[in-house]
Chains A and B, each alone.
Chain A
Amino acid sequence: MEKIPIFYFSWQWKSFNVISLAMKLLTIMIFVGSMAVSASTYSQRSKINLKFENLSLAEILNSIEKNSEFIFVYNANFINSDLKRSISVKDESIEKVLNLLFQGENVSYRIDDRQVFLYENEELKSPGVANEGIISEQLQKKEITGIVKDSKGFTLPGVSVVLKGTTTGIITDTNGKFRILIPIDAKTLVFSFVGMKTQEITITGKSSYDIIMVDEAVGLDEVVAIGYGTQKKKDVIGSVASLSYEDVKRTAPVSVESTLQGMAAGVQVNSGSGIPGAPQQIKIRGVGSISSGTDPLWIVDGIPVTSGPIDNSYDGETSQSILAMINPNDIESIQILKDAAATSIYGSRGSNGVILVTTKTGKKGQTKVDVDIKSGISNWAKTDIGYANNKDYIAIMDRAFTNSGAGLYSVENSIKQLDGATETMTREEALATNTNWADVLSRTGSFYEANLAVSQGSEKGNSYLSLKYRDDKSNLKFNNMKNFSANVNLNYNLLKSVDMGFHLLAAYTDNDRLKSGDGKAGAGGWGQVNSNALPWMKVYDPNGLNGYWNSRAAVNPLAGVDPINAQSNLKTINILSGLNGVWHTPIQGLSLKGELGMNYVANGGRSWRSSALLINGAVAQESKFEISTTNYNAYFNYDATISKIHVLNVVAGVENTRSLSHNMIMRGEALVGAFPEVGTPNVLSGNTAMGESYLRGFFSRANYKLLDKYYAGVSVRRDGISKFTSANRWATFLSGSLGWIVSEEKFFKFKPISLLKLRGSFGQTGNTNIPSGITSDSWGINSGTSTLEGKNNTFLNSIGNSDIKWETTNSLDAGIDYGLFNNRINGSLAYYQKKVSDMLLAVTLPPSAGISEGQNYCWQNIGDMKSGGVEFNVNAAIVSKTTFTWNLGFNISTNYNKVLALDPESDANHVGMLQSGEGGINRTITKAGLQWGTYYMAEYAGVDSEKGIPLIYEVKKLEDGTTAHTGKIIPATAENMSINRMMLQSKSALPKLLGGFNTNINYKNFDFGVVLSFVTGNYIYNRLLQSSMTPNQGMLVANKKLLTDSWTKAGDKTYWPQVVAGLLYNYDSQGNPTTTGVSYGSDNNTPSSQYLEKGDYLKLRNVSLGYNVPKHLLSKYEIGNVRVYVSASNLLTITKFSGYNPELEIDQASGGSYSSFTSMPTSRTFMIGLNANF
């Protein structure tokens, strides 16, 4: 830091001899008593204690500054700052201290609250006026006055106002006002303040200026969070994407997860349904592992937090996202660390990327109050996916049954196949009853949300407090959620060289969830809308239980979720608490930091289903789950600048993480009593389980910068984890990175390019997203209804492998950061490649292992997989004027993935891994040489126009185990479909391309923003389409295409075959006529590419329009800023996918993406909000 000759806001350590200073400071004790708030000024309230010997004036003044809020303003030309003084005072006023200090010196002072102006005795000065007499006694002066505010209208004290090209200057007073005498021919004033863009104001004929300082949002000097520290954006040589608060608030998101969609290159967010609190899936740079988890590590204010869904679902209820409990309004910034240079400092947890969330803190200045209130309504974006109405349905089934020689469809027969059916219907009634079950279960959603944030800051510290309350009523009837959260951030300079910080985030949700399941056994809700709730069925029946038609038959979706029949409540609490301290050691540039963080997540679930839904009486389940993670670390940060050209930063430390979980479920059946609780049931079952995991890591990072343009960085981390045996517990993860700012070179004379930085990194990371206890066999206990005579038993849950060790991901990253036209256009281009080796693979065991189907695997370090891609992003300030700004942002990224090897047995047999996906059905293959989760199924070849039967391509297996067409087209019998499965290379759930676009326009008092996101190249298996296009026995919903687009007579050229009951055609696998019906599959267990659809979409994620009320209308009410805005989310999705919503999760087990019975539409939300600052 360069010393400004005339103004000393602070002194630098380097100007002192550190050791001698340390000795002298032994005798110094300063205490500034900060009084209670009163009308008196700071100088009047403050009492000073001083005791020191033989210290320079400069040192003394600096010490006072550091330990109080006083700021000394003086001209070094006439103050002898080297003058030595000894002084000892106790509880004295500042005036007394100054009198003693300058006793015998030709120095006077004037005190204006916290500002102390020192000048030569004979001069008379006014508050806030620089020593113009010293600057140039000979020149004629003119006075310039003004006020400096931030963009929200708050006055800014302490802003430096300097006459350009001189050392003449002043700082603004506590009200942001300044008054400066300058030469009459002076032309420019420079206004600067930490964290804000420096402004130059041309002096015109005016004598008064109002200055608005703007936040330094995207500047290269912007400081961004990296692992265990911060770094200037310009100096970052890893792949890091940053989102500011402005980016976050633009879409008024409901959760921190959704802020990322379309905003950062290489980051995929599947936002899923519009159910409040629903988790969203995030993948950074695709997937980096097969069996281990591929979700990123989340760090909030330095504390690793529990992420992902917290479930205890009883019957298909939507899970509660833990991250959704963090208030987006509290977010200051988000950094997404993507390459090894950025993530390897997190070692074993870094391979899936790291997301750093920094929450807001108080800023220096006045107390600020921020109020944000919004409310909105929502509806489903799309509910019509082609289901037939009652008449069409009966016509379809009539056709099916007739074609199968079974006469007409019988609604009575359909009802009779339902367990517990108590009411029946006639065909005539059915033809007269048209129920749109999606509509029956839906409503217009609504929400309101109130946020209050109070912050303040001073030289001694800052504080931030926010409160949030949100009440959601989703588009599903009876589905409501309340969310309350509070966030406290306190940071204080407790001691002279010690900073302390405290962070507390507490969030609570009360979620009235809805169960959702297909089939029988008391299911209901949305799952039944897509399965067994037929359009000719009634909703209500006066004679039915609780007024519903056939509620015990389990197919009435509304009866299944009405609180009179079923309840499912989940209350969740998430507490994130952190305490950190920094000791600025006497060694210049060396500080020691310690962080203690605790994340406690707990929930209690209560589900109940009445005897009106169940044949065997009411059931209830209560559950509790808690996970507490304690994280404590300590590390050094050392900054040094040597000879002005070498800049070094070293971080080294240790981190410990202890995680404990506890789970309890209690279930009662055949309940006694009418209360919706377990109570005293006839059958009681349940269990508890505990889990634990311990992680310790030693880490270090060194970043070196030469001449502000050459960069090098290394990091090393050694991690140990309790999930492995002691022999394999520890592993070391290394990374190295290089950077070069070419544009800083003298030879680089191409002016339009203001920044050209080349960077590259190579490093290693690991993955801890594996279960605990996999090194040894584990046993489980069955209890309750699943067992013989209802009694318990023990079973081998899984087979352990004591030899497993860390999997390692080697990552290569090369990129360019660029800036054009003085960085008005900037962005980056990066190429990355990741190779995971010694993969922690859950290797499928043969059934002869004797483990239950779901656990029939054993973890091994086997297999390799690579992935890679290119990322590009650009941000442009198209227009940047005072009253009109227009910014554009665009990002796009590609991703490929290839499995190199799996376990020797499956590689040798060329079979790959066949994991079950939705509904327990296998539709994908993961095999060496192919992409992870390549779709694997019969390949549809259309309809035999003479016979009306579906056809598939005959398939042969090649030597390498892959498949190819034989050239023959054969009937799609279940047998043929089973034998002729095609590995549909390049078709998987992973998008090949994804990205986003955003723009923000500010014109005068208006602002307008748009955010779009897109994904392409991925495929979805539309199980719903398969189900609705398969007329079995008239028990499942049907698609009207069966009536309109299917084969009816010889010669028809259609995509869909003849409609028959039960998919039984009288043609065998060779196409020969038969007298017995031959199965052509089912609604579920015969996957066909007929139902594989592209998942491409372009989504208009958010459109917002805001209006800032003119300040002159607000000033008299002491309101800084008021913005009124309207916003619409999920307004439009352009896609060819025929289901509700193409944003479906990727199933980690199988790699596929499935539209299932429980898939829901997204909600389209319209909101209006008001934001005010005081």
Chain B
Amino acid sequence: MKNILILIVALSLLLTSGSCKNDSFFELERPNQYPWNTVSELELAVRLPYLLLMGNAWGSPVGALSLRGYAESDISQYLNGITGSSYYNEYYTRKWETTVLSSSDKELELAFSYLYQISTATNAPLKLITDAEKAGTDVFTNMTITERETVKRYKGELLFMRAVGYWYLARTWAPPYNPDGSNDSKNFVLNLTYVNGASEIKNGKLATVEEVYTSIVQDLKDAIDVLPTSYVTSELSQRSRVNKYAAEAMLARIYFYMGKNVLAKTLLDNVINSGMYNLNDEPIAAFNKIAGEGSSGEILWEIALSSTSTKFDRIPTIFSKNAYQANGGRGTNWSQCAWACFTLSNSTLQQIGWMNKDLSVGPNATTDKRYTQTFIRLEAYKANPWSASANPTEYWTWQNTYETLYPIPVPIVWLDKYYRATTSGRRSNRPMLRLAEMYLTRSIISFKDGDKKGAAEDLNVVRKRAGLTDISSADITELAIENERIIELAGENADRIYYLIAMRKPIGIGDRDATKYSPILPPYSNYYWQVPEIEKQNNSAYK
């Protein structure tokens, strides 16, 4: 009996000693928490959405939208025999209805993911800020007046970026906004709060096109309310962070797209009349700088990367002459990827007067600075340049450049505005909002309103910078404005598609076979890509 007692006592002591202070035993020294405790730390949250818009090499939302829009439009042609991957072809052949992008075709899928990462990256700090506002307190303790203003600006930047994120989503994965329709198509999830837990995420709710655009417009309005007209940041490029005018320009862009031209014009007036921006610099000036080298006077907002960043968008490599490897722009440093496969379409070249029907150089080309600065014409391939018998004068006229893998037997005109910085081509700043676009948009709005004088004035600001003569208000036409816009904005933010939809005009077939293709007509109800399969498979919202 005594033995048993000793045993029981000893065991009890043992187990009790092990079980005491259970709670404190498991207490973590470093539990998870919000990473922001000061205003300067909140800066780290505000910076992220800008980066996410650039995404990564082959998944950049900016690059993906630009490629898709350019490739689907009427102003591009797909080069026969180019070694592009399948989905480039799918854009050109407009397979958005039938093609399910596989996980191997990462471009749009990655862009989709990055855009939602922008949503999350903005929702979390916005929740922190708005919760404090609701509670009537500061976001952090012991804030100074200056810091309160900074947080206000942060809120504006975050709202701006959330709007941009959903604007990009809406442009690819939802039918275009229909000013005359119900806009009740439900295509993707709209997350405006910081979601918690897998269940909430996996059982999302699809938003209508109307809801999405309402949200975008509201976010931008709210951003305009709180963003200052100018401020100084620690960024190397001051214009890599948005101000009130950038928000107004973005909202103007969206209003124009939504057919709300009056609202758009008011905002464009604000931007243009602010006096902060100009078209004094050469057309290439917006494209040939990296952060720290200043910005062209026309830049309202640009994505700027450091000289060592690895997060640069490579996608324009697919639709422009210059490859991301380029260092120094043209000449001996020129480079081209073998998978570059979209040039300007012949029909467009003829429309803008840059190429004649016999493929010779057109009448409007040589006088236009953009023809030589942001585009490049290559002559027809004649012989293997590397063979001993090849005569260098028979093929492209520049020396020491890279020849495409496939010889192209006809002259072509490439976009050549990307990767043009001499310091580090791949890290060239990417313009997101340029004053030229504002002038061109106000020009067409004025023209549609019957204000030909205003339309001509705005158009001529852009033409003048390009070295072209003015067009009088008597001679101005919608086509003239449209042609100017093609030349000025080709390849940027899918502008051609954007413009045609805003104008409720057919999206033409360009050089495509007329027996197989038809223009995409307003209201473009079926013109949108299916969200990636991985989203459908893992979100019961799509059941």
> Which A positions have Cβ atoms within 8 angstroms of B?
18-19, 401, 404-408, 410, 412-413, 416-417, 419, 427, 585-588, 590, 592, 615-616, 634-636, 638, 652-656, 669-670, 683, 690, 692, 694, 696, 698, 720-722, 726, 729, 773, 776-779, 781-782, 785-796, 799-801, 843-853, 856, 858, 860, 903, 905-906, 908-909, 911, 914, 916, 921-922, 973-975, 978-979, 1032-1033, 1061-1062, 1064, 1075-1079, 1082, 1085-1087
Contacts and interface: CB of A to CB of B under 8 A. Distances in A.
Contacts of B478: none
Contact of B99 (A844, A853, A975): A975
A755 B120 CA distance: 66
A975 B120 CA distance: 32
A1086 B234 CA distance: 44
Contacts of A786: 309-311
B300 to A, nearest CB: 17
B201 A1033 contact: no
B311 A845 contact: no
B117 interface: yes
A683 B306 CA distance: 10
Contacts of B147: none
B366 interface: no
B100 interface: yes
B407 A846 contact: no
Contact of A788 (B14, B305, B424, B537): B305
Contact of A413 (B7, B118, B405): B405
B534 A795 contact: no
B83 A846 contact: no
Interface in B173-211: 188-189, 191, 195-198, 201-202, 204
A372 B188 CA distance: 69
Contact of B124 (A19, A412, A796): A796
A502 to B, nearest CB: 22
Nearest to A845: B201
Given A692-B30, A796-B121, A847-B116, 5 more contacts: A788-B305, A858-B198, A858-B201, A978-B100, A1085-B106
Nearest to B327: A615
A922 B35 CA distance: 33
A406 B81 CA distance: 9
Interface in B212-256: 234-237, 240
B61 to A, nearest CB: 12
A182 to B, nearest CB: 44
21 contacts: A405-B406, A413-B402, A413-B405, A585-B10, A670-B308, A692-B28, A779-B35, A791-B306, A793-B44, A793-B48, A795-B48, A850-B118, A911-B537, A921-B103, A974-B85, A974-B86, A974-B104, A1062-B83, A1062-B405, A1076-B78, A1085-B104
Nearest to B59: A853
Given A847-B113, A1033-B405, A790 B306 contact: yes
Nearest to B403: A413
Contacts of B84: 1079
Contacts of B195: 849
A1077 B104 contact: no
A1061 B536 CA distance: 35
Interface in B42-56: 44-45, 47-48, 50-51, 54
Contacts of B387: 407-408
Interface string B66-98: 000000000000101111111001100000000
Contact of B2 (A19, A843, A916): A19
Interface in B1-41: 2-3, 6-7, 10-11, 14-15, 17-19, 22-23, 25-32, 34-36, 41
B201 A587 contact: no
B289 to A, nearest CB: 13
B540 interface: yes
Nearest to B386: A410
Given A406-B405, A722-B26, A847-B113, A636 B86 contact: no
Contacts, number: 297
Contact of B31 (A419, A776, A1077): A776
Interface in B412-470: 424
Contact of A698 (B18, B110, B113, B337): B18
A906 to B, nearest CB: 6
Nearest to A615: B327
A626 to B, nearest CB: 15
A788 B309 contact: yes
Given A18-B3, A788-B305, A844-B538, A849 B116 contact: yes
A592 B90 CA distance: 74
B85 A801 contact: no
A779 B34 contact: yes
Interface of B: 2-3, 6-7, 10-11, 14-15, 17-19, 22-23, 25-32, 34-36, 41, 44-45, 47-48, 50-51, 54, 78, 80-86, 89-90, 99-100, 102-106, 109-110, 112-113, 116-121, 123-124, 188-189, 191, 195-198, 201-202, 204, 234-237, 240, 291, 303-311, 325, 327, 335, 337-338, 384, 386-387, 402-403, 405-407, 424, 532, 534-540, 543
B338 A978 contact: no
Contacts of A922: 103
Given A634-B18, A847-B112, A729 B104 contact: no
The SS class assigned to the A binding surface is mixed
Nearest to B189: A848
A726 B28 CA distance: 12
A657 to B, nearest CB: 11
Contacts of A787: 47, 51, 306, 309, 311
B541 to A, nearest CB: 8
A844 B536 CA distance: 12
Contact of B291 (A654, A776, A789): A789
List the 3 shortest-distance A-B pairs measured between CB atoms, nearest first.
A850-B120, A654-B18, A790-B306
Given A654-B15, A846-B202, A785 B82 contact: no
A408 B388 CA distance: 12
B81 A1076 contact: yes
B308 A790 contact: yes
B257 to A, nearest CB: 23
B306 A1064 contact: no
Contacts of A670: 308
B10 A592 contact: yes
Nearest to A669: B308
A62 to B, nearest CB: 21
Contacts of B45: 793-794
Contact of A634 (B14, B34, B123, B204): B14
A799 B240 contact: no
Contacts of A796: 120-121, 124
Contacts of B51: 782, 787-788, 793
A1073 to B, nearest CB: 14
Contacts of B291: 789
Contacts of B85: 974, 1079, 1082
A416 B15 CA distance: 72
Nearest to B49: A793
B2 A788 contact: no
Contacts of B237: 789
A413 B335 CA distance: 11
Contact of B25 (A406, A427, A696, A779): A696
Given A405-B81, A848-B191, A905-B537, A858 B197 contact: yes
B48 A794 contact: yes
A611 to B, nearest CB: 14
Contact of B89 (A588, A856, A1078): A1078
Contact of B81 (A19, A777, A1032, A1077): A1077
Listed residue (B3, B22, B27, B405) with the most chain A CB atoms within 10 angstroms of its CB: B405
Contacts of A1086: 104
Listed residue (B80, B201, B291) with the most chain A CB atoms within 10 angstroms of its CB: B201
Contacts of B17: 634, 654
A790 B309 contact: yes
A846 B543 CA distance: 13
